[in-house]
Amino acid sequence: MNVKLLAYTPQPERTVACAAKLCYAAADIDTVYQGLTEEKTGDFLDMLSQIGHESPIEHASFTFGIEGVSRSLLAQLTRHRLASYSVQSQRYVKEDGFQFVLPPEIEEIPEAKAEFLAAMEEDTRHYQRLAELLQERHKKDFLAQGLTEKEAARKAEKKAIEDARFVLPNACATKLICTMNARELKNFFTHRCCSRAQWEIRALATEMLRLVKGVAPHLFAQAGPPCLRGDCPEGKMSCGKAQEVREHFARLGEAS
């Protein structure tokens, strides 16, 4: 998994504080930034957190480049709908020798790992063979329509992989660019940094949190699983390790 913070709102914390100041102070657009020192910016963000006023934090957005994650993770990630996603297309990009994500639990058992790798090899063979068969047929059709050899081959390959991709597994690796505003990010971290979240998306969320804390530490000071801010809400489903989780995310903030 490779995660990078590609771009974000300039001075994200000051931008949020500016929006909050306009709500609560007798300021206008020309003067709203005046007097927003680092200390006052931090005070505004702390106040917003204390009173639960979340709309001002929507003014800060963060864009991530993500690669080496599975299609299984992608299905979970895109359930967070208040975000923008651009994903490398299996329709336009051929997946010859595709990369895949090997779950740690499978990797730890030699027999399971061997079975998994065999399945990936088999899927690769099926994908390549399907692409060949479909491309051969489509090329004949395009040639019959009067296209040149080169153009017929190009269009046939593109059309062939549209259907060949159906055999690819959830483990198939993908790449994407994702943008979320700070409010949606905090909601994302609440759900996906929790120990009950699936391991791969939990790893992604934790790394994304580490990155944004590096540029907006006040804004994301309390971000993470719910047990950072109080009792675990999971009831009988709780991992029972709230203190360990709190210590882990405290170290995450120090690392940033």
Q: Which residues are catalytic?
A: 192
Show Cβ contacts of residue 167 under 8 Å, excluding neighbours closer than 6 positions. Answer: 123, 126, 127, 130
Do residues 215 and 8 touch, judged by C-beta distance below 8 A? yes
Instruction: Determine the 3-state secondary structure of 62 from DSSP.
Output: strand
Q: Which residue has the tokens 């994200």?
A: 12
Other C-beta atoms lying within 10 Å of the C-beta of residue 152: 20
Other C-beta atoms lying within 10 Å of the C-beta of residue 62: 24
Nearest to 14 by CA among 47, 53, 54, 59: 59
Instruction: Determine the 3-state secondary structure of 238 from DSSP.
Output: coil
Show Cβ contacts of residue 254 under 8 Å, excluding neighbours closer than 6 positions. Answer: none
The three-point CA angle 252-83-159 to 5° equals 115
